[in-house]
Structure formats: structure tokens, C-alpha cells
Amino acid sequence: MSQDKNIGFVGLGLMGLPMAANLVAQGWSVTGWNRSAGPLDELIALGGTAAGSVAELRDLPIIVFMLPDLPHVEEAAAELLERWRAAPPAAGTVIVVMSSVSPQRVQEFGQTVSKASEGNAAVLDAPVSGGRVGAQAGTLAIMAGGRAADFATAAPAFDAMGTTVRHLGPLGSGSLAKACNQLIVGTTTAALAEAAELAERSGLDAAALFEVLAGGLANSRILELAGPRLLAKDYTSSGPAKFMHKDLSFVLEAATSAGAVVPMASAGVELYAELKRQGLGDQDLTVVRQAISHLSDQAAATAEGNISA
């Protein structure tokens, strides 16, 4: 197999494993690393190979990291960077951060990688949208930031994992785009949850309401995918809701840097923080309806208490 189709993949979770599987299916030689052995066994069964450590990936031209947040990436990459400090990689090596991370901090990580590799390695931030369904189908939207030459190196791998792939600018641009994506996804899901809860508590058929919404201007991909789960109160996780709090925090961080006002993101951060306080963070994003229901119950109890007093 040609060298340019060799790739390392760090993080074989709900998203990472199907993404790596699509690479294997598209003819890539995938060497994976994961903290737990089970996903590695699955990757091997699909035709991939396993690395004993992230540092063993040091000679590969592309290394993908798909971990919850940048601190996890930095921790996993620490030994790799130490190896590079002792023996720099071949020029043109690309680290691809496909997690949802801070636009500012990924730029700092890029500087760390460049210094450790004596300028031979660079970072692309290339977060994804489309959820586990998109990861499995290979239809992810991939939004990338970094140097054009590094994007060109990684683009064939992106094409094996997604159908909408865009280079949006310098390092950090992909993460900013993902933050904007999450602003829309997080607040729209919350708005649908509020609508469902308000309708039911008012005696309206929430399913009928959503059917009408789907026929008008309020229709959206989020309504199509999240609507049935919100109605059924099905919160089986396809991605932990707690990550939305993290992602919306990145929106606030970016807005402060840009001098922008983001009132919807500010409200969303507080709502998803409350969701975490209620112990719901490991369930699906649609559990935001349960968080809103709990708040509604508390408000009703307070109002009743005031009337009784």
C-alpha cells in the first residue's frame, strides 16, 4: 500500500471507530490507538492494526485525534511529541484534531507541535458534524482550519469519512465553524424541547405540533432527527449532552475574542450547565427536555408554595 494511504487514528469511541472503519473500507492502512482494548479488537477485525502507544504512530504522515477535548489530545500526544523532540518526523507530517475544541487553544497546540517537530509537523483542526449516524455512513460534514498544503495532505482521508469537506481558513477556523454549528444545534434542540414541554403541559398534542412545524418555516434537520426522540423521551445516548456545555463555552470564548454578543449561546451555556447539575450529562442531547421538565416542576412547586403562603 502506498505511503500516502497510511494513517494513525487515536480515539476509537462512538464517533472514532466508525470513522476509522470507513478509512479501512476506502483502502487506507489504519493503525489505531485507544485507551481500552475492545475498540482496538474491532478495528483489527475490520482490517486495521493496533499500536501499543501513540508514540508508535510517529512515522505516519497523518495522525488523527478523535478525543473528547483538547486536554485529552494533549495528554495522548505528549509521548509522541517527546519522540519528535529527539528525532523530528518527516517534513509534511500532519496531526488532525477532529474533536470539538477551543479555537484559541488549538492554535496554541499547533505552536507546540511545530516547535516539538522542528517545523516538520503541523496541526489541522477538522471537527465534524453529523453525529454517529454520519460517522457510520461516511457522510460527515468536516470543517477544517490550517495551512492549505496540510489540508491537501489530509483531504483524501476526509473524503473517506465525509461528504461535505471545506477548508475554511487558518488553524482554529474549523473549530470556530464547529462552535457556530453547535450554537445552532444546541439552542435549536433546546427550543424544540421547550416547545414540546409547553405543548404537553398546556394540553396540546406535541406530536401533532411537531407535524405542523415540519410543514412550515420551523422545519429543520434537527426537528427531523431530534423531534421523534424528544416526543418519545428517548434519551439513549448517541453522544453525551454534557459536551454541548463545553461546545457552547467555546462560542462564548470566541465571541469575547471577536467582540461579538451571543445572547442565545449565553442562555444555552446556562441551560446545559443546569442539565449537568441535574446529573443528566451522560445521556443524549435530547435529554435537555428532561432538564427543562425538572425546571418546570420546580417553578410550579414554587408558585404553588407562594399561593399557599
pLDDT at 218 over 70: yes
**Domain spans of the chain, in order of start:** 6-170, 176-308
* Tens digit of each residue's pLDDT (9 = 90 or more) over 32-77: 999 999 999 999 999 999 999 999 999 999 999 999 999 999 999 9
Cell of residue 38, nine digits: 475492545
Active site residue 246: no
* Tens digit of each residue's pLDDT (9 = 90 or more) over 69-124: 999 999 999 999 999 999 999 999 999 999 999 999 999 999 999 999 999 999 99
- What's the CATH architecture for 176-308? Orthogonal Bundle (1.10)
3-class DSSP state of 260: coil
Class of 6-170 per CATH?
alpha beta
List % helix, strand, coil for the chain (3-state, nearest 5). 60, 15, 25
Contact (CB, 8 A) for 252 and 266: yes
Say how many CA atoms lie within 13 Å of 161 toward its Cβ: 34
> pLDDT band for position 307 (50/70/90)?
confident
Which listed residue (5, 115, 178, 233) is catalytic?
178
Mean pLDDT of 114-142: 96
| pLDDT at residue 1, rounded to an integer | 37
pLDDT at 309 over 80: no
| pLDDT at residue 2, rounded to an integer | 42
Mean pLDDT of 239-244: 93
Cell of residue 10, nine digits: 487515536
